[in-house]
Structure 1
Amino acid sequence: MIGKAIRLERIMNRNTGRTVVIPLDHGFSMGQIEGLGDMPKIIADISDGGANAIVLHKGMVKAGHRKHGRDIGLIVHLSASTSLNPDPNDKVMVCTVEEAIALGADAVSVHINLGAPHESKMIEEVGRVSRECTKWGMPLLIMIYPRGEGIDPKSPQAIGHCVRVAEELGADLIKTSYTGDPVSFKKITSACSVPVLIAGGEKAADLESLETVREAITKGGAAGVALGRNSFQRENPKEFIQALCCVVHGNKDPREALKL
């Protein structure tokens, strides 16, 4: 598995064992949303801010990855859906591991909505992707959430189930929702053998976002964050990501990080 180890070094900070990932795949599902109009600029801001990696769909890689700013890890997202679909939780594969390799990816990511009507299809597809990742030595980030009728999306039991499914499928990194409680989240991360990252969700205030991140990492056992809208929709994304990296990698207090 030396290939996975080498590629993961571009995503995980070797000193802290943590990572700051900025997903930029929202345009596929949400259209021309705020913050993703000028892709070369936002990618440059993110890389200059010190993030470890970005997540892009295959067609956007040419829009600016590694053409501006410092080098940054590339995670190519393989699955997608749109908000125009009556069931936006139904994810389908739009890229392959081999395509991602040709694009120079350091990892690939896939999305599963556990509890959604098409859960079985998504699990089956990710099983195939996991097999290909093992074959090619490509790290696999599984983004997995509890989403379905009657399911509490912040339930520790449901989120713990998601994390276990991702681990069982062969994930090298897992992105999921934060329970909002470090005690319940610590129980989840302690029972998992691979790094668990918290998702950002909708945009919140700078200090509130950083305080949540610090709590999830220092008390909840999270290995980092994957913040999309909570980072690229800021008035100054570069400065916010610099503060975010101070919290994740420098163990700074959020107020101090914002001042810096």
Structure 2
Amino acid sequence: MHIGKSIRTERLMNRNTGKCIIVPMDHGVSVGPIPGLVDMRKIVNEVAEGGADAVLGHKGLARCGHRRGGRDLGLILHLSSSTDLSPEPNAKTLTANVEDAIKMGADGVSIHVNLGDPTEAKMLGDFGQVARDAENWGIPLMAMVYGRGPKIKNSLAPEVVAHCARVAVELGADIVKVPYTGDMDSFAHVVEATCVPILIAGGPKTDTTREFLQMVHDAIKAGAAGLSVGRNIFQHPTPRLLVSALSGIVHAGWSVDQAMAMVGE
């Protein structure tokens, strides 16, 4: 790996465990200023103090979330966008590039691709261009790849998730983000088919904290390198404590009961 990419990757992932907790905050473009993301500087500080390894978002996160103090954490600039107001919300368009990320002080970049969407070909072309630029500049690339389209009946089906993960690896991602398949055995097969760290997405907001922590615990046991989760963290009543609990699971091998004790539930 390019030395610059190695150095930047170490700012995003725990050097001792090789795992990470990333909190995406890119929702403002897709769904607007939802609860938990109105004051971006406040929530960045909360998850930083809880022990998050990095945050992820668009250019506005760098401007509005920069704190000028407190515990440091990595920054991933998200390069692709769409809004839920669009008739084609799954069609992602590049709205930034790798040079923008470097200028804004980011440690990594990310893109979102929805396989199966009618605009898949364009998104894959964008993926290829971003991967080339990221390699040239020595900056890590995280790819969020989901199966969403008319031919896909179940986006969480293990074979669909495995295909998504493999596409991300084959096209040059350094870190892959995919949905959790729902059980350890099937997700272990997803992990086995890749050669880079795999993170799980949070999906819809879970009903209980225990349900969320159990999902993360099981994913780690199945070989995941961590998580990239937004709503289930920044919309939690105590995000700092929740991130501390997640850090215990991801980096210290805590049980769900130990994590629940940290949250205080």
Which range, TM-score by smaller chain? over 0.9
CA contact (8 A) 1:91 1:122 kept: yes
Secondary structure of the 2:12 match is coil
Matches within 5 A, 1:113-192: 113-151=114-152, 152-192=154-194
Q: In the TM superposition, what is the alpha-carbon distance from 1:52 to its structure 2 partner?
A: 0.2
Please report how far the alpha carbon of residue 255 of structure 1 lies from its aligned counterpart in structure 2 after TM superposition: 1.6
For the Cα contact (< 8 Å) 2:90–2:117, is it kept in 1?
yes
- Opposite residue 255 of structure 1, the aligned amino acid is D
The one-letter code sitting in structure 2 at the alignment partner of 1:59 is: G
Q: Partner of 1:70 in structure 2?
A: 71
After the TM superposition, which segments of 4 or more aligned residues of structure 1 sit over 6 Å from their partners?
Answer: none
Matched, 1:213 2:207: no
Structure 1 residues 10 and 66 mapped into 2: Cα distance closer, same or farther (>3 Å)? farther
Secondary structure, in 3 states, of the residue corresponding to 2:113?
strand
Within 2, Cα distance between the matches of 1:32 and 1:191? 37
Query: Which residue of structure 2 aligns with residue 244 of structure 1?
Result: 246
Q: Secondary structure in 2 aligned to 1:10?
A: helix
The alpha carbon displacement at 1:256 in A equals 1.1
Three-state SS of the structure 1 residue aligned to 2:216 is: helix
Root-mean-square deviation over aligned CA pairs: 0.9
- Contact 1:35 1:232 (C-alpha < 8 Å) held by counterparts: yes
- Give the superposition deviation at 1:135: 0.4
Contact 2:116–2:151, Cα closer than 8 Å, also in 1? no
* Structure 1 residue 79 corresponds to structure 2 residue 119: no
Secondary structure at the aligned position of 1:185 is classed as helix
State how far apart, in whole Å, the 2-side matches of 1:203 and 1:60 are. Answer: 22
- Distance of 1:68 and 1:202 partners within structure 2: 32
**Aligned-pair CA distance for 1:65:** 2.6
Equivalent pair of 1:40/1:68 in contact (CA under 8 Å)? no
Name the CA distance, whole Å, in 1 between partners of 2:254 and 2:61. 33
Q: Counterpart amino acid of 1:74?
A: L
TM-score when scaled to structure 1? 0.98
Deviations 1:155-199 (A, max 9, x none): 111111111110011000000101002111101101200000000
Q: What amino acid does structure 2 have at the position aligned with 1:196?
A: I
How many residues are paired up? 259
Q: Does 1:37 align with 2:38?
A: yes
Whole-angstrom CA distance in 1 between matches of 2:241 and 2:92: 33
Q: 1:68: Cα distance to partner?
A: 4.0
Deviation at 1:69, TM superposition (A): 2.3
Q: Residues 140 and 171 of structure 1 are in contact (CA less than 8 Å); yes or no, is this contact kept in structure 2?
A: yes
Mapped partners of 2:232, 2:66: distance in 1 = 20
Residue 110 of structure 1 aligns to a residue whose secondary structure is strand
* More displaced 10-residue stretch of structure 1: 61-70 or 2-11: 61-70
Residue type of the partner of 2:240? K
Structure 1: segments with no counterpart, 5+ residues:
none
Residue 140 of structure 2 aligns to which amino acid in structure 1? P
- The answer for the alignment partner of 1:60 in structure 2 is 61
Q: What pairs up with 1:92-103 in 2 under 5 angstroms? A: 92-103=93-104
Q: Distance in 1 between matches of 2:87 and 2:155?
A: 19
Q: Secondary structure, in 3 states, of the residue corresponding to 1:243?
A: helix
Q: Which consecutive residues of structure 2, in runs of 5 or more, have no partner in the other structure?
A: none
1-side partners of 2:100 and 2:26: how far apart? Answer: 17
Paired residue type of 2:210: L
